[in-house]
Structure 1
Amino acid sequence: MKINQAYAMIYCSHVTRLSIHNLSKRFAVNLSKQQWRCFSEIDTSPSSVMRNAQVQTIYSETMQIPKQGRLEVRCPFNLYVTPIHPKDFPRLDKAFFTIYGDSDFQFSKDKWNKLFKFSTVFNSDDRTLRVMGNFTESGEKQLSELAHTLEVFCQIPPNYEIDINCMDNNNVNVEHLQSPRVHIQTKRGECSLRNIVADSIVVHSQTGNITCSGSLHGTIDLSTERDGIIQGSKLQGPFVRLKVENSDIRVNSIDSEHFFIRGQHGNFRFGKLHGHGIINLNRGSIKIKSIDGDVSLQCEKGDVNAFFFSTDLSTIRAKEGDVHLGVVDTANVRLNLVGKRVQVEDAATEHFHRKTVTKAGIVQVNGFISDESASASIDVSASNGTVQLHVRDWFSTLKLDRHVDQ
């Protein structure tokens, strides 16, 4: 193959360096706590994905590339992507690659190089840095079913687009990027994102979990099949879509103009929910600690527990389950509550002015909180269950009352 200025190809068979790092002594700093890596002395310590105390550095290389472009990865190895620091590399024109192997195998360099192939190719025409890897026939027999035998550590300019397709049970970690686009697809491995800002963030996993720490900002689309769980700290952007099949969703905060969340079987747990959107669950439970916006919540079989700070128009439907509705006492809102039973706690009676009608075994309670002329409304239906209403005063929602001397 002829190599010209448009292409730079690096093969691991060219590497002559082999070293062993004792992580317990040399790499005491937890990688997940490092926002930026210091490149005065290049830190290529393995991530927590490599769980063994001893690893081998079986490949390392440095490339010079433009500060903007696209990283495309196609390989069955664990992958860790993090940015170089502009303070250390002001031109943002470097990329670093390091491959770690599990030293418990006690393979020599020559043995490792017979088990896998790896190459990096930069095409200047489309500004794409392509990272490709695969197991050899011998490697398939010995390593392909082991999830943590190899990890590729990539350090790239922070503004690169990311396109990762993992072909097996390998895990992906991506952190601290400001990118036009981050698209990741995994099969059986897990995906971890940390502090990502991008126009588009799309992650799909067949059976692995998706974990988002720190904050994700952009148009966000996260989905799993089968048993994969979605967990997040803060998701923010113009649109957020979350989808699972038979698993849970747990997110501390969603701040989005529009969102769409759905699943077949599982438990949905949210902290703060701000924006307008839909949450649909076939079987399981939905719990939301704080809602500021217009939502449609529906659970075919299971309970719904939601607390509203403000809304213009929201609906809750639980066909086979109960609804626990909470409202702050300063909300000017009308409530329409329908169920086999409707229970209003004693503390809410002074805030909720209501009228009750019972017909054909169904109880309907209509009323308002704060202002009879309120145009905002929350419609709740639990046709085969109980609707419970509690009203909290604004002070207690701030959790300040627990600090007041009795």
Structure 2
Amino acid sequence: MQRPNWGASLLSPADSHRCYSSTSVPEVIEGTRQIQFWGHETEPFGTLNIDTPFHVVIKPLNPEKYPEMNRAFVRLFAPGGEEDEGQENSTLSHWSDLYTMETSFVKDQLTLTGKIPKDIFGDCPPQITCLVEIPIKFNVNVKVEGQANVSLSDMESDDIFIRCQHGNCQLKNVKSGKIDVYCETGSLESSGFLQGNIRLGCGNDGMIKAQRLQGQNISCRTVSGNMDIADIYASETMITASEKTILNLGSCHGKALININSGNINIKSVEGNLEAITQMGEVHVALTNTKKKVYVCSKRGDVSIGLPKPADMDLDLLAAGIQLTKDFTYLVNSLVETTDQAQLLLMALEETVGEKGGSKVTGDAKVGILTIKYQDWLSSIGLSADDNDK
């Protein structure tokens, strides 16, 4: 059964400021004016479905104003501000001729379908923004076209599914059982935390930037866009780039598989099992002393491994050349110059830091230089002694 749409109107500039009670006035979207409003009575649980060329902003209802979580509000905003009201009255009255927006609520499904006629605007449609406020537990299913962006914040859903064509996606403090987001050519950014079974992807040059990713299974993939992730907490993580990327990862907890075709891998703190491979580029990782199995490899490039103190690890190092930092100067000085010095150096190094039954660490740079250094605790969390003194 379809619920009644208990508030739908195309607004004039004057109406947009007096038609609602103070409890339903949304945050101001700078540089825009509200042109249309819908309100639906809902249950606390349901699904929001959106298919539109409009920018989409989704956030939960204010729990203080709507503690029962039984409302859904949809508002459309168009370019223009207070100073334009006098001269834009006639233009605003024709907005209904420039787009269509259909809303329906059947059972627990709130569906919004927007269209802008391409025969009028081509690839340059008007910049309309759709602001949706829904119960915090609603599932989200969004598809936007063209350059439209999606912003989703503070939701606690079971399922979140977002597809962007050429626009970007922004997430902030989102919890969900399953999160699946893909931008065909745009970029993806998550601030605060993103919690759930997570699949993030960007095509072309689209980039992924995230602060904290947490869940059982996490997947991040790009084609040639960079990835910058502060922290990952997961049972299993997979990170891939089919062409080229630079991956900067702060800390990685749990089992992780990283495979990129070309580019550099930089990880400040490895807390679990890791396999990190680049076909062409550099790999720089720093290890903690928790027991783990680590394999880092550059097929055509250099590798550096930062070891903790004490380094209770079984080392297996394969490289065209091995370079030690000043922490290991005593080993270099103790060796006699021979044609087998590199092998002697490797044997001495493995004997110094090796610990059978501890972590198993393999460094593979067959055609490059493999650097071994000690990693102090401050450096492992992205700080230095100088930073600590400031």
**TM-score when scaled to structure 1?**
0.83
Once residues 44 and 328 of structure 1 are traced to their aligned partners in structure 2, the CA distance between those partners, rounded to angstroms, is: 51
Contact 1:343 1:388 in 2 (8 A): yes
Q: How far 1:300 moved relative to its partner?
A: 0.5
Q: How far 1:346 moved relative to its partner?
A: 2.2
Which structure features the higher share of strand residues?
A: 1
Q: Give the structure 1 partner of residue 373 of structure 2.
A: 390
Unaligned 5+ segments in structure 2 are none
Q: How far 1:195 moved relative to its partner?
A: 0.4
Once residues 10 and 112 of structure 1 are traced to their aligned partners in structure 2, the CA distance between those partners, rounded to angstroms, is: 22
Once residues 45 and 213 of structure 1 are traced to their aligned partners in structure 2, the CA distance between those partners, rounded to angstroms, is: 20
SS in 1 for 2:204: coil
Contact 2:7 2:37 in 1 (8 A): no
What does residue range 1-20 of structure 1 map to in structure 2 within 5 Å? 5-8=1-4, 14-19=9-14
Q: In the TM superposition, what whole-angstrom CA distance separates every residue of 1:5-41 from its partner, at most 9, and x where no partner exists?
A: 52445897x424435999xxxxxxxxxxxxxxxx953
What does residue range 221-240 of structure 1 map to in structure 2 within 5 Å? 221-240=199-218
Contact 2:217 2:235 in 1 (8 A): yes
Q: How far 1:371 moved relative to its partner?
A: 5.7
- Work out which of the residue numbers 241, 258, 267 in structure 1 matches 2:236: 258
What does residue range 146-165 of structure 1 map to in structure 2 within 5 Å? 146=125, 149-165=127-143
- Work out which of the residue numbers 362, 365, 373 in structure 1 matches 2:346: 365
Once residues 351 and 257 of structure 1 are traced to their aligned partners in structure 2, the CA distance between those partners, rounded to angstroms, is: 38
Q: How far 1:142 moved relative to its partner?
A: 3.0
Contact 1:121 1:129 in 2 (8 A): yes
Q: In the TM superposition, what whole-angstrom CA distance separates every residue of 1:30-75 from its partner, at most 9, and x where no partner exists?
A: xxxxxxxxx953342344xxxxx53221111222111110000011
Q: Give the structure 1 partner of residue 26 of structure 2.
A: 44
Q: In the TM superposition, what whole-angstrom CA distance separates every residue of 1:135-167 from its partner, at most 9, and x where no partner exists?
A: 135xx5337425x71000000000000000112
What does residue range 82-101 of structure 1 map to in structure 2 within 5 Å? 82-101=59-78
Once residues 187 and 214 of structure 2 are traced to their aligned partners in structure 1, the CA distance between those partners, rounded to angstroms, is: 20
Q: Give the structure 2 partner of residue 316 of structure 1.
A: 296
Q: How far 1:98 moved relative to its partner?
A: 1.0
Q: How far 1:86 moved relative to its partner?
A: 1.9
Contact 1:338 1:365 in 2 (8 A): no
Residues paired across the two proteins, number:
373
Structure 1 residues 223 and 183: CA distance shift in structure 2, 3 A: same
Among all aligned residue pairs of Structure 1 and Structure 2, give the percentage whose two residues are the same amino acid: 21
- Equivalent AA in structure 2 for residue 131 of structure 1: L
Structure 1 residues 368 and 294: CA distance shift in structure 2, 3 A: farther
Q: Give the structure 2 partner of residue 338 of structure 1.
A: 318
Q: Give the structure 2 partner of residue 189 of structure 1.
A: 167
Once residues 224 and 74 of structure 2 are traced to their aligned partners in structure 1, the CA distance between those partners, rounded to angstroms, is: 37
Once residues 396 and 152 of structure 1 are traced to their aligned partners in structure 2, the CA distance between those partners, rounded to angstroms, is: 44
- Work out which of the residue numbers 55, 58, 63 in structure 2 matches 1:81: 58
Q: Give the structure 2 partner of residue 328 of structure 1.
A: 308
Q: Give the structure 2 partner of residue 277 of structure 1.
A: 256
Q: Give the structure 2 partner of residue 36 of structure 1.
A: none
Contact 1:233 1:253 in 2 (8 A): yes
- Equivalent AA in structure 2 for residue 334 of structure 1: D
Q: How far 1:394 moved relative to its partner?
A: 4.1
Structure 1 residues 133 and 395: CA distance shift in structure 2, 3 A: closer
Structure 1 residues 258 and 151: CA distance shift in structure 2, 3 A: same
Q: In the TM superposition, what whole-angstrom CA distance separates every residue of 1:338-383 from its partner, at most 9, and x where no partner exists?
A: 111101112146799x999977x99982515656334321101111
Once residues 204 and 121 of structure 1 are traced to their aligned partners in structure 2, the CA distance between those partners, rounded to angstroms, is: 26
What does residue range 22-37 of structure 1 map to in structure 2 within 5 Å? none
Once residues 285 and 81 of structure 1 are traced to their aligned partners in structure 2, the CA distance between those partners, rounded to angstroms, is: 35
Unaligned 5+ segments in structure 1 are 23-38, 48-52
Structure 1 residues 313 and 209: CA distance shift in structure 2, 3 A: same
Q: Give the structure 2 partner of residue 30 of structure 1.
A: none
Q: Give the structure 2 partner of residue 35 of structure 1.
A: none
2:114 matched to 1:136?
no
- Equivalent AA in structure 1 for residue 13 of structure 2: L
- Work out which of the residue numbers 170, 179, 196 in structure 2 matches 1:218: 196
**TM-score when scaled to structure 2?**
0.87
- Equivalent AA in structure 2 for residue 198 of structure 1: S
Which structure features the higher share of helix residues?
A: 2
